[in-house]
């Protein structure tokens, strides 16, 4: 049974049983405390907790998930994967335990010919919470399970909570017995490898408080509405139904593994370590493909960092399998073909996805090459110093700064006859992880408990009137201070205010929140921010300027009209620039992020190379021509399907309901789904001035523009600069570029002459420097300051000449000079000196230590430096002393 067929059977069954079929939410979570949708229940949390009223009494879905907590276990077990799909059925105050158990048992055990999954009843076991006698009785009544196949477990295993005060309840899990080949008998409590969990039923029936840990909390009563939250792992069911050993061998994953086998020339199933690597590759490539399809792109932070880590682990695993060249064009194509039936977007959007994957692999392969050079130097220095291990700090630097995997460091070190101080490396890694955890905890603490908004959201959605009105009378529904609902906020306090209606725009879709005030009888509030903490509810962060504000009072939201006008101009200009980019570069140049505020726009788009000045000018001209043409701007509210049929662009990173707002500028020329505020016609935008274009990652570019009066002021400032230059240089405007180029060439030629003069002046000092040699034991040493030098290369050249003039007896030349704002010291040794154990690298380090800097190099010539010019005489004396000590 194909994986996609299992998912469809699941949805068909629950649709037949009156469940609303809900499409999968994005892998990018709406919850600000988590990066990804890590479980099937995440999109339903607002309904399960009662913060947002559920739009349907019962639902079913197949939800895409990403979880990286157990990334090190991927490939080692049958069930750990980063990307997985969770089939779920949900009841929001409708059916409860008996219904959930009945549905699960019927679907699992019904014959395949009847639309079921065809599991044999004898192979199924269940676990329940230790005190849940009701669940035990229902399993016996509904499924006819004997008591011997129902096992009781404690809170650690069979009780669900959010980790915060609120709803909670016992769980019941269904397990499949894979047979004696996979472990000992005795049910899930005896062996969870042989007995594989396939379905978890959560009976959300209690309210808890005083949460001290996952297993330590107080149950304070039953919920007025009891919910059902279930999840069945699609990959786990698939590998059982397909008769394979693990999730990496199912039809949606195995093609990537097989392609990796072909590319490496190694056999799957022969060597355990190789098998783990093949599975890691298959899992991580599929996970990366799905993240890219949901708009995540590689970067050094947040979601992008997780994606980059997955992709680089894949490259590393291929390297450890003996493949050092690029493999993503083969591996990602195999994953696309395996996943496109279930997720057509991976094929439809391939022209956007593939360049990110290929560019990331190319970048990491270059990183591996540069990291190898740095590692080779560390190996050489360790051996020269007589050491046997590369330090943990060096290994951590390679890993953390250059992205060089530690296992490759171990491999290279072993080939060189060295070890790595792994304990020190692991300690540094643990420190980094702890900092990350502390940072994550601080971020979670900064986020208010969303259940505080439940009562306000239960009153209905906040009505936004700002599309047509800049002032709206309303009523204050609630006041919060420090995330806690209070009766009032007083003058000087920062608070959150919830209104029934508001004219103030809440930040979303790249458009920043409105500025403005909220006023009422005896009080005035300065609006600092406007956000949507939960879907459908708008919260205003305010500073109480005058009086005090309390729930129930009348309030009028007042928008700063000038700021809103400029923000509308910027947001409409973003749409115009997007359309102009697609006109110029093609349909693959799609938006991947934006920011719009009064007078300014920032627009990120998928593209693999810098835009030429001519292309930038063309984009700017197309956008401004659209302004000139006074195109009509219209908005329509319609269903998501209708909007897509009309050709509206749905942008990555945006979440859309079943009803959407479509914004047209000039009809279909610019047609996007957008909830932002816009001008009435394109001429109101004024002027668009592209002021910057840059890279924001592999295959991603950013343009920045000023809009309206801000664009005019920028052009006026440039005009003033041009006027000053024409006056100062006495050159007509159209001849300025040639005149400036001429002056730059003259300046460069003069600098070359000066440098040549300084070099000759230094060379003229050669006899004097040779004559200054002193005896340091049996070694002749020249240790002199040159004053200033044009470049460090000049100092190096002269040091080598001095060394050669000193003859074949043991000799060292050490010269220092101020080069710009830094001191450079170059040390050169001849063969006879090196035979006495005198090495230039060690002497350069000694000098650099005195200068407050660093240094090193080869035994025959090395360089050090620092910023403390006054310490140069002492640094040179340190070299002489070191030579004397070594030569003694």
Phi, psi of 342 (to 5 degrees): -80, -35
Half-sphere exposure at residue 879, Cβ-oriented, CA atoms within 13 angstroms:
37
Give CA–CA dist 390/597, Å, rounded.
51
Phi, psi of 699 (to 5 degrees): 60, 30
- Binding residue per annotation — 674? yes
- Binding residue per annotation — 575? yes
Give CA–CA dist 552/541, Å, rounded.
17
Helix (H, G, I), strand (E, B) or coil at 259: helix
Burial environment of residue 506 by CB neighbours within 10 A (0 to 12, 13 to 18, 19 or more): buried
Is the dihedral angle over the CA atoms 579, 583, 588, 589 positive or is it negative? negative
Residue keyed to tokens 């910023």: 867
Spatial contact of 283 and 74, defined as CB atoms under 8 Å apart: yes
Structure-token pair, residue 876: 């040179």
Give CA–CA dist 740/724, Å, rounded.
13
Structure-token pair, residue 467: 């599309």
β-partners of residue 498 are 478, 539
Helix (H, G, I), strand (E, B) or coil at 574: helix
* DSSP characters over 545-558: EES-EETT-EEEEE
Spatial contact of 209 and 217, defined as CB atoms under 8 Å apart: yes
**DSSP assignment, residue 638?**
E
Residue keyed to tokens 């740095």: 374
Give CA–CA dist 239/80, Å, rounded.
13
| Max Cα-Cα span within the chain | 106
Residue 790 CA, chain-centre distance (Å), reads 44
269: left (phi over 0), alpha (psi -120 to 50) or beta: left
Structure-token pair, residue 78: 């049958």
Structure-token pair, residue 813: 């030349």
Strands 419-420 and 389-390: parallel
Give CA–CA dist 600/566, Å, rounded.
9
Structure-token pair, residue 569: 């101009």
Give CA–CA dist 261/136, Å, rounded.
47
Give CA–CA dist 411/415, Å, rounded.
6
Strands 166-177 and 670-673: unpaired
Burial environment of residue 709 by CB neighbours within 10 A (0 to 12, 13 to 18, 19 or more): middle
β-partners of residue 230 are 201
Structure-token pair, residue 883: 């030579």
Which distant-in-sequence residues (6+ apart) come within 8 Å of 420 by Cβ?
Answer: 389, 390, 392, 395, 406, 409, 410, 413
Give CA–CA dist 64/689, Å, rounded.
41
Helix (H, G, I), strand (E, B) or coil at 26: coil
Q: Which helix (H) or strand (E) holds 742?
A: helix 736-763
**DSSP assignment, residue 252?**
T
- Between the CA of residue 458 and those of 41, 228, 453, 540, what are the distances in Å? 20, 20, 9, 18
Which distant-in-sequence residues (6+ apart) come within 8 Å of 874 by Cβ?
Answer: 850
Residue keyed to tokens 């050094």: 300
Residue keyed to tokens 């009209």: 561
Annotated binding site for Zn(2+): 571, 575, 674, 678
Annotated binding site: 571, 575, 674, 678
């Amino acid at each position: 049974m194909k994986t996609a067929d299992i998912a469809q059977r699941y949805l068909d069954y629950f649709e037949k049983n009156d469940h609303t079929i809900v499409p999968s939410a994005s892998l990018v979570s709406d919850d600000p405390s988590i990066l990804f949708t890590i479980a099937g229940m995440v999109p339903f949390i607002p309904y399960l907790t009662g913060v947002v009223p559920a739009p349907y009494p019962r639902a079913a879905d197949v939800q895409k998930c990403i979880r990286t907590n157990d990334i090190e276990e991927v490939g080692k077990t049958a069930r750990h994967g980063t990307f997985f799909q969770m089939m779920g059925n949900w009841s929001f105050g409708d059916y409860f335990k008996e219904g959930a158990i009945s549905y699960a048992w019927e679907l699992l055990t019904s014959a395949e010919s009847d639309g079921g999954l065809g599991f044999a009843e004898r192979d199924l076991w269940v676990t329940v919470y230790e005190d849940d006698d009701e669940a035990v009785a229902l399993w016996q009544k509904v499924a006819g399970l004997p008591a011997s196949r129902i096992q009781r477990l404690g809170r650690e295993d069979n009780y669900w909570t959010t980790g915060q005060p609120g709803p909670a309840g016992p769980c019941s899990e269904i397990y499949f017995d894979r047979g004696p080949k996979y472990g000992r008998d005795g049910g899930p409590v005896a062996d969870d490898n042989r007995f594989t969990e396939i379905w978890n039923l959560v009976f959300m029936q209690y309210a808890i408080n005083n949460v001290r840990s996952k297993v330590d909390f107080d149950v304070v009563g039953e919920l007025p509405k009891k919910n059902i939250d279930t999840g069945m792992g699609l990959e786990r069911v698939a590998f059982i139904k397909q008769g394979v050993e693990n999730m990496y061998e199912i039809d949606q994953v195995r093609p990537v593994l097989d392609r990796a086998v072909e590319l490496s020339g190694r056999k799957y199933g022969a060597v355990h370590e190789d098998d783990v690597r093949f599975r890691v590759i298959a899992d991580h490539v599929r996970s990366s493909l799905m993240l890219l399809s949901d708009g995540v792109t590689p970067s050094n932070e947040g979601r992008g960092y997780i994606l980059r880590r997955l992709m680089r682990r894949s490259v590393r695993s291929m390297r450890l399998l003996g493949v050092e060249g690029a493999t993503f064009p083969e591996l990602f194509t195999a994953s696309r073909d395996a996943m496109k039936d279930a997720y057509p977007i991976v094929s439809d959007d391939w022209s956007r996805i593939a360049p990110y994957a290929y560019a990331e692999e190319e970048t990491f392969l270059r990183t591996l090459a540069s990291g190898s050079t740095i590692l080779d130097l560390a190996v050489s220095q360790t051996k020269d110093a007589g050491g046997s291990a590369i330090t943990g700090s060096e290994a951590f630097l390679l890993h953390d700064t250059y992205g060089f995997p530690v296992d490759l460091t171990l491999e290279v070190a072993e080939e060189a006859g060295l070890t790595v101080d792994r304990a020190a490396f692991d300690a540094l890694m643990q420190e980094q992880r702890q900092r990350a955890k502390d940072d994550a905890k601080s971020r979670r603490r900064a986020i208010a408990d969303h259940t505080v908004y439940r009562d306000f959201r239960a009153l209905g959605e906040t009505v936004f009137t700002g599309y047509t009105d800049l002032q709206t009378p309303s009523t204050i529904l609630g006041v919060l201070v420090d995330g806690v609902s209070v009766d009032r906020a007083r003058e000087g306090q920062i608070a959150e205010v919830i209104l029934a209606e508001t004219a103030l725009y809440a930040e979303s879709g790249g458009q920043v929140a409105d500025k403005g005030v909220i006023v009422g009888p005896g009080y005035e509030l300065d609006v600092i921010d406007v956000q949507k903490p939960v879907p459908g509810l708008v919260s205003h962060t305010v500073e109480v300027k005058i009086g005090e504000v309390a729930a129930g009072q009348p309030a009028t939201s007042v928008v700063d009209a000038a700021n809103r006008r400029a923000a509308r101009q910027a947001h409409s200009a973003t749409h115009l620039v997007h359309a102009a980019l697609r006109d110029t570069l093609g349909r693959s140049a799609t938006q991947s992020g934006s920011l719009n505020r009064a007078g300014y726009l920032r627009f990120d788009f998928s593209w693999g190379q810098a835009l030429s000045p001519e292309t930038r000018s063309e984009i700017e001209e197309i956008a401004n021509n659209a302004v000139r043409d006074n195109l009509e701007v219209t908005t329509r509210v319609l269903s998501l399907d209708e909007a897509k049929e009309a050709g509206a662009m749905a942008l990555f990173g945006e979440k859309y309901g079943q009803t959407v707002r479509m914004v047209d500028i000039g009809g279909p020329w610019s047609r996007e789904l957008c909830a932002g505020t816009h001008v009435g016609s394109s001429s109101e935008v004024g002027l668009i001035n592209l002021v910057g274009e840059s890279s924001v990652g592999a295959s991603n570019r950013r343009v920045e523009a000023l809009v309206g009066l801000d664009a005019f002021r920028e052009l006026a400032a440039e005009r003033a600069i041009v006027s000053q230059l024409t006056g100062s240089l006495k050159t007509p405007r159209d001849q300025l570029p040639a005149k400036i180029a001429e002056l730059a060439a003259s300046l460069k030629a003069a600098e070359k002459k000066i440098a040549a003069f300084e070099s000759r002046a230094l060379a003229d000092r050669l006899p004097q420097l040779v004559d200054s040699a002193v005896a340091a034991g049996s070694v002749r040493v020249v240790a002199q300051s040159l004053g200033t030098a044009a470049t460090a290369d000049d100092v190096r050249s002269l040091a080598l000449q001095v060394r050669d003039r000193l003859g074949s007896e043991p000799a060292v030349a050490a010269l220092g000079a101020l080069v710009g704002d830094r001191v450079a010291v170059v040390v050169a040794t001849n063969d006879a000196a090196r035979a006495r154990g005198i090495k230039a690298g060690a002497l350069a380090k000694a000098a650099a230590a005195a200068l407050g800097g660093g240094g090193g190099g080869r035994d025959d010539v090395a360089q050090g430096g620092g910023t403390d010019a006054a310490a140069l005489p002492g640094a040179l004396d340190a070299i002489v002393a070191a030579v004397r000590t070594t030569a003694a």
